Every structure is written in C-alpha cells, then in structure tokens.
C-alpha cells in the first residue's frame, strides 16, 4: 500500500493505492482519494494527515512490540464491568444520594466509591465464600474502578461503609419502622431513588413481594441471628429473613431485613403499611405467593383497604380444598392451546364465591395432562414395588402419599389417587379486587414472570459467609446485594430496550475479559485495550458507553 499522484487534466490528486494480484497479474486498487495536492498543501491538511498517520504508525509499533513482549508491562486491569455498571450507577442517581446523606459525617475515604466497589463485587462474585468484604479487597486489585487508585481502599473502609448503611436513624425518625427492625440510612436511599423515578411510579398499582432466608456461619448480629424456618434447609444455623418488593415491571423498590424467626405470614401487613407511608402511595395491589396467606393477614389487609391477589393453599386450606375446588361452573378461556412455541401457556379461569370470599380457579390443561401422567408413572412404579415388598416404600415421599396402612402392611389408596386428580393443572387465587377473573389470573402470572428476578435476588443475596457480628453492618452487607440487584435489573432493561436478548453469564464473562494493559517504553507510557470479545461491544452500546481507544498515550513517567 502506498500514496501516489494522479494527474487529471490540470490538477494532481493524491491517492492511497493497494497492490494485489488477480489471475497471476499485478493489479492496483484505489483505497481512497485524499484530494487535490495543491489544496491539501494550501490548507495545511496534508501535514495534518501525515501527522495523524504517523501517530497511528506509532500505535501500531507499540501494539506490535507489546505482542512480542518487547515493552515492559506496568499493570493489567479489567475495565468492562466498572465502566458499564458505573454508568448505570450514576444513571440511577446513587452518587448524588449517597454524597448528600453522608454530608454530616466526616469520612477519610470516598464512601460513594467504596459502596460502588462492594456492589460491583456482589455482581461478579456472589457465590458462597467469594462474596465477603474480605474477598472484595483482594478482588479490587484486578479492576480499574473509576475514581480510585491502587491502595486507596482497605478492609476497614468496607466495614465502615456497611455500618453506615445499616445505622439506625434517630428515635424521632422511627415512626414508620416495622415491629421487626428499625429505620436505617438504607431506607433513605431507597426513598430517594423512588422519588427520583416518581414519574414512572405515579400509577403504581401492582407490587410483588417475596422473602428468602440467609443463614450465618457464625452467631450473627445482636438481634438478626435467630433460628427459624430455613429455606436453605439449614435449621441448625442462625439466620435472617430478607423481603424484597418489586414493582409490576419487576424493578426493585425496597428490601426489608428481619430476625430469622420472623414468619412470612407476619411480614406482609407491616410491608404494606410501610410502602404506603414511606413512598406516599395511595393505591396499590399486593401480589404474593401462598406462603403469605393467613386469616389474620387477610383481615388486616381488608381493614386497611388494601387490594390483594394471593395464592391459596389448595391442599391444606379446608375452604379451598373442600368447597372451592368442588364447585361446578364453566371455565372461561383466556389463552387457547399453543400453536407456536412463543404462544402463552393455555389458561382457563372461573370465579367461585364462598360467602364474601372471592376465589379464582385457574386451569392449565397442558399442566393437567403432565400432572396426570406423572402420577400414573408413580402409581405404576408403586404397584411394581409392592409386589417385591412394601417396607422400603414408607421413606419415599412420592410413594407415601398414595399408600394406606393395614396393620403392618401397606396398600395403594385408590381414593387418594382420585382426590389428587382434582388438583391437576390448577392453582387457586384469593382476591378482593374488582378485576375480572381473567385479569386476576394474568396479574398473578406476572409473579411467575418476575420469578427470574426473584431467583436473581436470592442468588445475589446469598452472600455467605457473613462475617459481620453487628446488626448495622449486616444490614449494610445485605443492602449492597440489593443494590447489585437494582443494577442488574437496570442493565436487563437497557438490553431489552436495545432488543438484545443476551445470556447473563455471557454478558458477565465478556465484560470481565475486557482489559487495559499499561506498558512502558522508556519514560513513555501507553494504555493498550484488549479486543472487545463476544457481546461486550453490544452491552457498551446498550448503556451508551464508548469503548476506549485501542492505544492511548498516558502522561510520561517522571524522570529519575
């Protein structure tokens, strides 16, 4: 490739030309025409083009030398995650909120940057034994966090930041506290973020609520380490309970943290009360799973005028089992049989009134056929096992519910099999709304649609081991995981807006692979960016962040 002069009538043009061979013969192909030579010289554009080309040539030489190992490497830092999530962090307004709230406190470190670092660490290392704040200090050494230099942060800074987030507010500001825990600094952050997006939430009429439990590998805090129903199947360990509230679009609104012996049925009413007081919501409909239902809970919600759509326990609730499921009536078809893979699941609904109690029975005929086939397989296997002896069957839960005992022997309970068929493909909802039965069912199905967010919540909140021993630092530790959930949800929304259907694990691995390598050539310093692999470039585009140049000149090192 070279530059040549081309004479056309009275003018000379500069062209960039490439040599090639076609059919064994030399050919020249014009890559670009730079312009008329006299005009380029007169305007000074020729000198500028040559200077620019010289700089590019220097970049190529640096890259080539780095690939050959001919220049010393000063450092290698990962930049993909910090750049993308820092943009989302700032877009949510978190720096302004944190810096405003900390104004009355004197910190000898950048509190906002510490919190961003902890949250970013939660996103990338939330697996057990990797999400501790101790691990975050080591992890930080491999990442270029905007606004932080090597050595700026130590473990004590992380602990102080956690304690600040979970610090209880003064007594006069505890009027909206739940019976299970005080109002803290983290509550202010949630309320400020909510207010900043108030235009979105003005017509908030639907929220989803779910809880999970996290166990301690130590004693826990002063009040948060208690024994209760463990969803992690570790009743031998103390735990805490975390409740998460999402809006109708699956965006996180707030989280609540309670002692581990707090049951789900006791949490829904305090959460509903706090939502109204904290966020000044006049109208709302709570959607929650069957674990939240109790007679006392329903009475409290209706006394307060709250609307609700709650899953009902079909097997253990006598009214549902014996009356609701026994009522006849024609089902209304909401969605017919699937014709394409992307079609919604088939759904039929019917309304049943038991006194003043309104129920909606929902039926998925595809699931009903599957339930029947699964049961038939279990019963067929059970009959075969009974021929060989029945004692080994008692410990199998799948078998035991279809057995009845006769003295020391067992036989199949045919009535139980018949009764179980009544539940095939069905679920029952209890509601006090004026929505149609179809609307109630579809609203509740949104709870299933945001279950992926709940699974993410539980994964991000699974921040064991929790080494903190004070309630305040434990609250801060868990709240940082909630902020990580907010960032992930925000990135999901940006990707959806850009029509990018990307695997989360692929997004994480490709972002994590983007690095900046600082090299030295004498006193000169250069930053070399690695190639953006996979979906990395698409993620940067979705959040409107520009990739750094491949080669950047840094300030020269000081002379000795």
Q: Say what the pLDDT of residue 457 is.
A: 56
DSSP designation for 218: S
Residue 204's alpha-carbon distances to 46, 188, 248, 267, in angstroms, are: 61, 20, 8, 21
Encoding tokens for residue 300? 């409290």
| Of 191, 169, 181, 172, nearest in space to 276 by CA | 191
Q: Say what the pLDDT of residue 460 is.
A: 55
Residue 539's alpha-carbon distances to 241, 523, 534, in angstroms, are: 34, 35, 10
- What predicted TM-score, i.e. pTM, was given to this entire model? 0.74
Q: Say what the pLDDT of residue 414 is.
A: 79
Exposure string over 308-333, b if 16+ CB within 10 A, otherwise e: bbbbbebeebeebbeebbeeeeeeee
Residues forming a β-bridge with 517: 76, 528
Residue 175's alpha-carbon distances to 31, 395, 398, 476, in angstroms, are: 73, 51, 49, 21
Q: Say what the pLDDT of residue 127 is.
A: 45
DSSP notation for 18-37: EEEEETTEEEEEEEEEEEEH
443: how many CB neighbours lie within 10 A of its CB? Answer: 20
Q: Say what the pLDDT of residue 128 is.
A: 43
Rounded to 10°, the helix 133-140/155-165 angle is 130
Average pLDDT for runs of 10 along the chain of length 560: 80 82 77 81 73 56 56 78 95 93 83 92 63 68 86 84 89 78 90 78 66 71 70 72 80 83 72 78 76 76 83 86 89 87 86 92 92 86 72 57 68 80 90 90 76 58 57 87 89 91 89 86 78 90 90 70
Q: Say what the pLDDT of residue 394 is.
A: 53
Q: Say what the pLDDT of residue 406 is.
A: 67
Q: List the domains of the chain with CATH numbers.
A: 2-67 (no CATH), 197-338+433-467 (3.30.420), 367-423 (no CATH), 506-554 (no CATH)
Omega before 372 within 30 of 0, i.e. cis: no
| Of 464, 488, 481, 490, nearest in space to 166 by CA | 481
Encoding tokens for residue 167? 């610090």
d(C-alpha 289, C-alpha 312), whole Å: 8
Sign of the C-alpha dihedral computed for residues 59, 65, 66 and 72 taken in this order: negative
């Amino acid at each position: 490739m070279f530059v040549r002069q081309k004479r056309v009538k009275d003018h000379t043009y500069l062209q960039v030309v490439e040599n090639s061979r076609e059919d064994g013969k030399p050919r020249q192909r014009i890559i670009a025409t730079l312009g008329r030579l006299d005009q380029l010289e007169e305007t000074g554009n020729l000198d500028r083009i040559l200077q620019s080309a010289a700089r590019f040539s220097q970049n190529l030489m640096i890259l080539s030398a780095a690939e050959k190992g001919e220049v010393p490497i000063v450092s290698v830092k990962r930049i993909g995650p910090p750049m993308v999530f820092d943009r989302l962090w700032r877009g949510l307004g978190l720096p302004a909120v944190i810096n405003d709230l900390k104004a009355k406190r004197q910190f000898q470190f950048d509190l906002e940057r510490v919190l961003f670092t902890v949250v970013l660490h939660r996103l990338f290392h939330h697996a057990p034994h990797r999400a501790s704040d101790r691990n975050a200090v080591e992890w930080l050494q491999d990442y270029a966090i905007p606004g932080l230099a090597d050595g700026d942060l130590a473990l004590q800074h992380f602990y102080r930041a956690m304690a600040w987030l979970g610090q209880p507010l003064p007594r006069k500001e505890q009027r909206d506290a739940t019976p299970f825990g005080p109002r803290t600094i983290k509550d202010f952050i949630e309320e400020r973020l909510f207010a900043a997006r108030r235009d979105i939430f003005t017509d908030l009429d639907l929220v989803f609520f779910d809880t999970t439990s996290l166990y301690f590998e130590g004693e826990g805090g002063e009040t948060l380490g208690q024994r209760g129903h463990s969803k992690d199947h570790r009743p031998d360990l103390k735990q805490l309970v975390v409740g998460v509230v999402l809006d109708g679009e699956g965006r996180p609104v707030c989280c609540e943290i309670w002692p581990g012996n707090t049951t789900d049925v006791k949490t829904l009413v305090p959460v509903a009360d706090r939502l109204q007081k904290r966020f000044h919501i006049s109208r709302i409909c709570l959607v929650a799973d069957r674990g939240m239902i109790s007679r006392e809970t329903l009475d409290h919600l209706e006394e307060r005028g709250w609307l609700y759509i709650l899953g009902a326990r079909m097997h253990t609730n006598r009214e549902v089992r014996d009356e609701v499921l026994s009522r006849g009536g024609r089902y209304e078809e909401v969605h017919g049989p699937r014709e394409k893979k992307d079609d919604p699941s088939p759904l039929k609904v019917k309304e049943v009134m038991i006194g003043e109690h309104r129920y909606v029975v929902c039926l998925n005929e595809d699931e009903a056929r599957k339930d029947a086939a699964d049961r038939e397989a279990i019963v067929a296997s059970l009959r075969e096992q009974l021929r060989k002896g029945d004692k080994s069957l008692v410990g199998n839960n799948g078998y035991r519910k279809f057995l009845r005992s006769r003295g020391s022997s067992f036989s199949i309970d045919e009535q139980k099999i018949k009764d179980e068929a009544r539940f095939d493909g069905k679920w029952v909802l209890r509601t006090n709304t004026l929505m149609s039965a179809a609307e109630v069912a579809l609203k509740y199905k949104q709870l299933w649609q945001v279950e992926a967010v709940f699974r993410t919540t539980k994964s991000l909140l699974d921040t064991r081991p929790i080494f903190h021993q004070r309630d305040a630092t434990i609250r801060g530790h868990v709240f940082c995981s909630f902020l990580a959930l907010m960032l992930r949800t925000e990135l999901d929304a940006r990707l959806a807006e850009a029509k990018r259907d990307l695997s989360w694990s692929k997004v994480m691995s490709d972002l994590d692979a983007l690095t900046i390598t600082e090299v030295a050539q004498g006193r000169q310093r250069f930053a070399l960016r690695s190639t953006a692999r996979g979906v990395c470039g698409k993620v940067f585009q979705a959040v409107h962040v520009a990739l750094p140049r491949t080669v950047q000149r840094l300030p020269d090192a000081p002379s000795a």
